[in-house]
Amino acid sequence: MAALPADIDQAQALLKAGNYVADRSLATAVFLALKLGRPLFLEGEAGVGKTEIAKVLAETLSRNLVRLQCYEGLDVAAAVYEWNYARQMIEIRLAEAAHEESKERIAADIFSERFLIKRPLLQALEPDPKGPPVLLIDELDRTDEPFEAFLLELLSDFQVTIPEIGVVKAAAKPIVVITSNRTREIHDALKRRCFYYWVDYPDAERELAILRAKVPGAGMDLSREVVAFVQKLRQRDLFKLPGVAETIDWTDALVQLDQVALTTPAIDSSLGALLKYQDDIARIRGSEAAAILEQVRTDLAAEAAKRLLQH
Amino acid sequence: MTETATSSRLAQNILLFARTLRAAGLPIGPGKVIDAVEAVKAAGIGTRDDFYWTLHAVFVQRREQREIFDQAFHIFWKNPQFLKRMMSMLLPQLRYEQPDEDRQEMAMRLAEALQGDRAADSMAEGEADEEELEIDAAMTFSEREILQSMDFEKMTTAELAASKKAIAALKLPIMEVPTRRFAADSRGRRVDMRATLRASLRSAGAIPLKLKSPKLRHPPLVILCDISGSMSRYSRMALHFVHAITNDRDRVHTFLFGTRLTNITRDLRQRDVDLALDRVAAHVKDWSGGTRIGHCLHDFNTKWSRRVLGQGAIVLLISDGLDREGVEGLEEEMVRLQKSCRRLIWLNPLLRYEAYRPQSQGAKAMIRHVDDFRPIHNLASMQDLADALRQAAMRSDRPASQGTIGGKRAA
């Protein structure tokens, strides 16, 4: 069981060890969440690496990752626990066959832990030899308000009440990471209990570092061009700006296409990996892409010249 | 006069005051009146301030009720001699008066409440001789009828005020869609295993099947309201309408647009309609200016649609479709908007004219991409809208949008 980071530098190093290039502000939020045992609430556009943070934490701290993917209509039966009805029915039948008369005894028997199917939230409260797990509650905005309200109890006391059994309390607090794409506002009451962090698009330098870490197969020149291109694209008026995940996918695609540098035809044919809306693709494809590429090349050449002069 | 007579007189006045507050919109039941009488007895009538805060403690239960209470108190218990007289066992002299035209609108609402009460009370108790009578005949039944079909634009201030009141009382029927959650239902189509097993332990022999069915919930509602010059008369009424909806159900988001887009959802959460609209007015900078529909819709699509159109929202677009700018990009934005919501309903006050056909370029571009097209120029049309929302169709049965001038009715 790896030790929790003792300061922000260590938190940053921890994320880096998991191949996650984080800036100082994110490392601070992660450190505080770990140190004070409060949930970390990550909000941001799709594809900026929110879910990844939880995965990296689980990996570098060598904990288990318990993931709860949220969706509309998520309820206690799918999120916390459910009774194994089939087994319960068989048990009742068996008890009847054995002429077991006492209703209480049957009840106590079939509503015991043996017949309980544990769902992610309950699993996260269980003692774990590897240490308390990382609980990832992914895309919380997809579920509805009643579930949010249910989470309030869980996140403040780390306990769940099962009427037939009683209160299940966490042996040790799990590390909780909540993500949201902000397709609706999460209630303040929930946010209040967490450390909130808005995950933004990375700047060029950090994006390059991420790309180098994630797609080592891509050459330095290609990576530079890709990052510069994507950064320029994010300044455009697009319906959906490309996230880091898209940058990585696109670079992967370009590598598969055996490109060592960006060219207009290569961009046009692989733009679908970067932009996901037809309007956006139609706007960028062709002359617009060529213009951006031209600009990117000029900028990179100027940068290279500057670097050369400094040496 | 005896002791009991005085205290019953006090109780009666508190009762009257409570009724006034109730008429002005505060939820006050008989229990509260008893509480108030007891509280006043317990606290004693010391100063006017004490009296104020005693009643305040009983009657006010929410932050937004404070303003109404404050005004009501000062109007109702107006006479400065009141407390003195009360203590010297004299009758309180209650004066109801018509507020001046230039008073705040809230006082207007209150005055109506006061007068309404007055009329009823004096008839019931036959004590009218002690007090001045001044009954406003506004909002009798026949007049309400006329208001129903009168165009907002042609109304006088008094009529506008009356219809505002009618709008506030207008409840939007809650159109509901099934969710993925279940509730116990004896006529449900699915078996609730958990309940069934629990029940099986209670009864001997056969296992009684417990059933469940999906819960229903209304989808979120997003309202985009045009506040440009050409819409000014309607947009004010529309805001009253929107406020009434916002406070009637959850998940309502409201945006205003003229030359730019403003989110006023939080302002409208203020329960008191006059305060809410004051806040909106302070917040919005482009009242009665030009319109840039395309530009504003673009803003909405890029900045807000993902945040508020989740979970199958219904969008109400309140606009006359007259765009100051060209229609550059408007059509694309309408397409996008329609695609991202469950149902897009365009409310156009110009539809009051029988022969209205979308003439302006903007309107032509818009009408091709709406699911429904309705008038919103008078109370009757608002009622129609309410009915339309009740039966709002699901995504699947979208009509071909070309030329669907539905719900049109003679004004």
Q: How confident is the model at residue B325 (pLDDT cuts 50, 70, 90)?
A: low
Angle, helix B30-43 to helix B48-59, in steps of 10 degrees: 150
- Asked if residue A311 belongs to a domain, the reply is no
Number of domains composing chain B: 3
Instruction: Looking at the structure, tell me whether residues A147 and A102 fall in a common domain.
Output: no
Same domain for B377 and B256, yes or no, is yes
* Domain contains B164: no
Burial pattern A173-196, b for ≥16 Cβ within 10 A else e, equals bbbbbbbbbebbebeeebbeebbe
pLDDT confidence of residue B100 = 42
State the DSSP code for A202: P
Structural domain tally of chain A?
A: 3
Considering A168, A199, A230, which residue would you say is the last residue of a domain?
A: A199
Q: What is the CATH number of the domain that holds B253?
A: 3.40.50.410
Residues A156, A74 share a domain = yes
pLDDT at B4: 62
pLDDT tier for residue A178 given thresholds of 50, 70 and 90: very high
Nearest to B273 by CA among B116, B387, B177, B165: B165
**Both B191 and B227 in a single domain?**
no
Nearest Cβ partner of B201 from A107, A144, A184?
A107
Which has more confidence, B214 or B134? Answer: B214
Q: In this predicted structure, what is the pLDDT of residue B354?
A: 64
- Do B212 and B254 fall into the same domain? no
Contact flag B179-A239 (C-beta cutoff 8 Å): no
Residues 241-260 of B with CB under 8 A from A: 250
Confidence band of B400 (pLDDT split at 50, 70, 90):
very low
- At B142 the pLDDT is 40
Residue B182, pLDDT above cutoff 60: yes
**Whether residues A107 and A239 fall in one domain:** no
* pLDDT tens column, B94-133: 434 434 444 444 445 555 555 544 444 443 343 333 333 3
In a domain, residue B152? The reply is no
Question: Is B339 or B165 the better-scoring residue by pLDDT?
Answer: B339
Query: Per mean pLDDT, which range of A2-16, A219-233, B360-374 is the poorest?
Result: B360-374
* pLDDT for B168: 64
Please give the structure tokens belonging to residue A305.
């010249």
Residue B401, pLDDT above cutoff 60: no
**Cβ–Cβ gap B197/A146 under 8 Å:** no
The Cα–Cα gap between A140 and A146 comes to 12
- Do B196 and B69 lie in one domain? The reply is no
pLDDT for B154 beyond 50: yes
B104 and B226 share one domain = no
In the predicted structure, residue A293 carries a pLDDT above the cut 90: yes
Asked, for residue B63, whether it belongs to a domain, the answer is yes
Contact status, residue B284 vs residue B316, Cβ threshold 8 Å: no
Asked if residue A13 and residue A70 are part of one domain, the reply reads: yes
In this structure, are B229 and B270 located in the same domain? yes
**Residue A37, in any domain of the structure:** yes
Do A146 and A42 lie in a common domain? yes
Nearest to B310 among A88, A141, A239 (CB): A141
Q: Are residues A165 and A73 in the same domain?
A: yes
The pLDDT tens digits of the residues spanning A63-118 come to 999 999 998 888 888 999 999 989 988 888 888 888 877 777 888 888 888 999 99
Distance from CA of B313 to the nearest CA of A (A): 11
Q: Are residues B392 and B326 in the same domain?
A: yes
Read off the pLDDT band of B393 (50, 70, 90).
very low
Domain assignment of residue A162, yes or no: yes
Same domain, A39 and A124: yes
Q: Which domain holds residue B191?
A: 178-217
Say what the pLDDT of residue B48 is: 77
B227: left (phi over 0), alpha (psi -120 to 50) or beta: alpha
What mean pLDDT value characterizes chain B?
70
Q: Is residue B213 domain-shared with residue B227, that is, in the same domain?
A: no
Residues 6+ away with beta carbon under 8 Å from B161: B105, B108
Residue type, A90: I
Helix pair B273-283, B105-125: axis angle to 10 deg = 170
Residue A3 lies in a domain: no
Any long-range contacts for B11-20 (C-beta under 8 Å, 24+ apart)? B11/B37, B13/B92, B13/B94, B14/B40, B14/B55, B16/B76, B16/B94, B16/B117, B16/B121, B17/B55, B17/B72, B17/B73, B17/B76, B17/B77, B18/B59, B19/B117, B19/B121, B20/B72, B20/B76, B20/B110, B20/B113, B20/B114, B20/B117
Instruction: Kindly state whether residues A76 and A145 are assigned to the same domain.
Output: yes
Which is higher by pLDDT, B368 or A121? A121
Q: What is the pLDDT of residues B10-52, one digit of tens each?
A: 888 888 888 888 877 777 888 888 888 888 877 767 677 778 8
- State the pLDDT at residue B155: 57
Whether residue B95 is found in the same domain as residue B194? no
Which one of A162, A182, A239 makes the best mutation probe of the B interface by having the most chain B beta carbons within 10 Å? A239
Q: Are residues A223 and A179 in the same domain?
A: no
Asked if residue A42 and residue A127 are part of one domain, the reply reads: yes
pLDDT at site A123: 93
Same domain, A86 and A208: no
Structural domain for A174, as ranges: 8-80+119-199
Which of B181, B250, B302 comes nearest A75 by C-beta?
B181
Q: Higher-confidence residue: B255 or B43?
A: B255
Same domain for A93 and A240, yes or no, is no
Q: Which residue has the higher pLDDT, B410 or B120?
A: B120
From B250, B301, B307, residue closest to A183, measured CB to CB = B307
Token pair, residue B13, equals: 């006045």
- Is there a single domain that holds both residue B226 and residue B325? yes
Q: Mark which of B197, B217, B237 sits at the end of a domain.
A: B217
Beta strand pairing call for B372-374 and B343-347: parallel
What pLDDT does residue B151 have? 56
Both B305 and B264 in one domain: the answer is yes
Touching check for B194 and chain A: CB below 8 Å? yes
pLDDT band at residue B324 using 50, 70 and 90 as cut-offs: low
Could you tell me if residue B21 is inside a domain?
yes
